[in-house]
Amino acid sequence: METGIEPVRFDTKIAVLLRDDLPVWQRLNMTAFLVSGIGRAAPEVIGEPYADADGTPYLPMFRQPVLVFAGSKEVLTAAHQRAVARELPLAVFTSDLFGTGNDRDNRAVVRAVGRADLDLTGLAVYGPRNGVDKVIKGARMHP
């Protein structure tokens, strides 16, 4: 649809990086969990509520795209290290989280493992576009 309006370019980026050796259902589940952390940590990324022509209200969503990437365990580990070093808002998902069933246990299994030993399966990061690009270096767009 041609509107004559310039596309919006954001100076920030939301990126999700998922390990490429996991089943699709796990990748989808992780994506939903990971981006929820970004909305909480950076409320400015949440847009205004929606409504249809009949006035039915809908929840607000991110005001900008979420880009989803895939990579090996090594790419994920390197991205995690770079995000921590840059002090960017970061959500992590570890393999242990697939075996829990509630938020309390989720936090406990992450807390039980040192940062260098986390078996990362996914992460979400938010920050300046160029900083996030450097964090996810080596990843590819998710198929």
Does 7 have pLDDT greater than 90? Answer: no
Percent of the chain with pLDDT strictly greater than 70? 97
- pLDDT, tens only, 42-83: 999 999 999 999 999 999 999 999 999 999 999 999 999 999
Tally the C-alpha atoms within 13 A of residue 50's C-alpha that lie toward its C-beta: 8
Chain-centre distance for alpha carbon 108: 20
E strand map for 64-134: 66-71, 90-94, 120-128
- Whether residue 129 has pLDDT greater than 90: yes
User: Going from the N-terminus, what domains does the chain have, and what CATH number goes with each?
Assistant: 18-141 (3.40.1490.10)
Tokens of 47: 């847009």
Dihedral sign computed on CA atoms, order 53, 59, 63, 65? negative
